[in-house]
Amino acid sequence: MPSSIYFVGTGPTMRPEWLVKEAWDVLKQADNVLVVDDAWAPDAIWPWHAQKEYVSSEEVLDHLTNLSSQERKIAVMLAQSPSHHAHMSLWVNWAISHNVMGTIVPGLWDMMVALDTNGFYVMESLEVIHATRPVRIKGGKGDFTPTHTWHLLPSGQWHLDDGNDNAKTMPTLTIKTREIVPHFWSTRLPLYSRKILLLHAGNATLKASSRLQELGATVFMSPVNKIAGPSDPAYVEQTLSHIERYDWVIFTSQEAVARFFQNLKRLNLDIRRMRAQIAVVGPQTAAVLQDYGIFPALMPKRQFTQEGLAQALSSYTLLGTNVLMPQGNLNRSYLQDYLMQQGALITCLTLYQNIPVPISPRMRDMVERHIVDAIFYTASSSVEHLIEQHPHLIPSLQRIPAISIGPLTSRTLQHYGIPVIRQPEHSSLDAMIDRVIDYFTEE
């Protein structure tokens, strides 16, 4: 069995109960533990069977060379976050060159890791004053000023205390320190310090927000519309109760897929009654459909729009076929018009409504002051809703880089004089993120 090396951070104290489970498990199974530069006090509790050996940073490589030849499981304990150690790059490169497997284990609880990897770290040592979990932490030795209080937001981001009373209910870190400095690797992230505004909400947007944050961006979500139920629930129930009569069911949005199956469940309708073939506008809509265990019979190969879906349907005989189109109240009519021209019998089923809402005063202020670095426009209706609610923002929007999801949205933006700096080849949030990375990298 080949040797393996684990670089383990000791957490905020020299107490075993404060270590994360992964760090505890590594130390429990280790054959040898190298304690670097007094990372663990000799008189501190040591509940693991492995013998600890105190070494300096300069001696680590010699010990690793010797122990790794004996097929050992080796833990290297460090008094700080392992990724911050000045010798870490040297040790990792040595392990790679000698084909020794290993990993880095932070040793810190989730809240502290979030602080540590969210763009800054505290230079001074920390003293824990909370008895059970590091919810509240303040500085260690010395006369530290000023005091910084950070709150962990539901998004996972740490936010500097602005005096908001609601923040008292959030997990908090109170730190007294001379200096809070940027985390050394965050500046290498392609979207480091960029502020991105998303005008949409939903699961897909949350996933996009997570990816943007991993790339270093600060993300603001301020939907310009809200989703409401159908204006005629009785018509929805009547239509779905005769689901077996349709030859095709065509979905042009993810929301329509989710609402369709939610209504089938609510009405206790057996999906096996549906004999129709299913067509979707693109891969993201198909992915939602597959969550319900159903795979579409048809999807455009490249152009994930109503135009692309019309082209995909052009090889089918549609004359006299019954087509059900679950949709929202603002759905485009292009595909419906095309199908009618081919002789299909169309039933449009409005399952939800897009209702415009204004963005928050804070976001209006950020847009007016050009604090936002880029805005993601994911639908033509989003542009219309934004302008309809805030026409005075047009001059500011014209100066903020616009990322458009597709041609129709781009045309709407250009109608209002808002230049589109990037538009992906395929209409998806992931593709939009790729394009914004390209833009800022080139910039």
93-104 confidence digits (pLDDT tens)? 888 888 888 788
| Statement: residue 181 has pLDDT above 70 | no
Q: Which of 172-181, 196-205, 312-321 holds the top average pLDDT?
A: 312-321
Asked if 131 contacts 15 with a C-beta cutoff of 8 angstroms, the reply is no
- 3-class secondary-structure state, position 205: helix
**In whole angstroms, what is the distance from residue 138 CA to residue 228 CA?**
46
Domains along the sequence of the chain with CATH: 4-108 (3.40.1010.10), 113-184 (no CATH), 195-224+357-442 (3.40.50.10090), 228-355 (3.40.50.10090)
Q: What was the pLDDT predicted at 287?
A: 87
Q: What was the pLDDT predicted at 162?
A: 59
- 3-class secondary-structure state, position 127: strand
| Statement: residue 127 has pLDDT above 60 | no
Q: Is the dihedral of CA 382, 386, 388, 393 positive or negative?
A: negative
Q: What was the pLDDT predicted at 80?
A: 64
Which of 4-8, 98-102, 338-342, 429-433 is the least confident region?
Answer: 98-102
Residue 124 or 207, more confident:
207
Q: Which of 142-156, 217-231, 334-348 holds the top average pLDDT?
A: 334-348
- Give Cα 437 to chain centroid, integer Å: 15
**Burial 201-220, CB ≥16 within 10 A → b, else e:** beebbeebbeebbebbbbbb
| DSSP-derived pairing of the beta strands 137-139 and 51-55 | unpaired
Q: Which CA distances in Å does 20 have to 11, 23, 108, 113, 122?
A: 8, 5, 6, 11, 20
Instruction: Return the C-alpha torsion angle 163, 169, 171, 177, nearest 10.
Output: 30
What is the average per-residue pLDDT within 18-30?
80
Asked if 136 contacts 130 with a C-beta cutoff of 8 angstroms, the reply is yes
| Statement: residue 316 has pLDDT above 80 | yes
pTM, rounded to two decimals: 0.52
Asked if 377 contacts 404 with a C-beta cutoff of 8 angstroms, the reply is yes
Residue 70 or 298, more confident:
298
Contacts of 63 (CB under 8 A, 6+ apart): 34, 53, 55
Residue 2 or 306, more confident:
306
Nearest to 199 by CA among 382, 427, 392, 416: 382
Residue 301 structure tokens = 């190969």
